[in-house]
Amino acid sequence: MWTKICGICDLNTARQVAELRPDAIGLNFFTKSPRSVQPGVAADIVRALPEGIEPVAVFVKSTVEEIVATCRDCRIRTIQLHGDETAEFTARLAELLPDANVIVAFRLGVEGFGALSEFLAACQRLGRIPAAVLVDAHVESAYGGTGRRPPWDIVNAEYHRTDWPPLILAGGLSPDNVAEAIRNVRPWGVDVASGVETHPGEKNIPGVKQFIERAALAFAEIETNNPAPAIGRRNS
Count of C-beta atoms within a 10 Å radius of residue 224: 7
Is residue 188 domain-resident? yes
Tens of pLDDT, residue by residue over 124-156, are 999 999 999 999 985 555 555 556 788 899 999
* Predicted pLDDT at 82: 86
Q: Read off the pTM.
A: 0.91
Look at residues 174, 155, 165 and name the one whose alpha carbon lies nearest to residue 228: 165
Mean pLDDT value across the chain? 90
Residue 104 falls inside a structural domain: yes
Q: How confident is the model at residue 109 (pLDDT cuts 50, 70, 90)?
A: confident
What span, in angstroms and rounded, lies between the C-alpha atoms of 202 and 192? 13
| Model confidence pLDDT, tens digit, residues 64-105 | 999 999 999 999 999 999 878 999 999 999 999 999 999 999
Query: What are residue 89's DSSP bridge partners?
Result: none
- Has residue 229 been placed in a domain? no
Task: Let me know if residue 158 belongs to a domain.
Answer: yes
CA angle 139, 179, 208 (to 5 degrees): 75
Residue 102 phi, psi (nearest 5): -110, 120
3-state secondary structure of 211: helix
| Domain enclosing residue 23, as ranges | 3-222
Residue 76 sits in a domain whose CATH number is 3.20.20.70
When divided into structural domains, the chain yields a total of: 1
Task: Flag whether 57 is in a domain.
Answer: yes
Would you say residue 88 lies in a domain? yes
Percent of the chain with pLDDT over 70: 90
Amino acid, res. 113 = F
The answer to whether position 78 is within a domain reads yes
Distance CA 144, CA 45 (A): 22
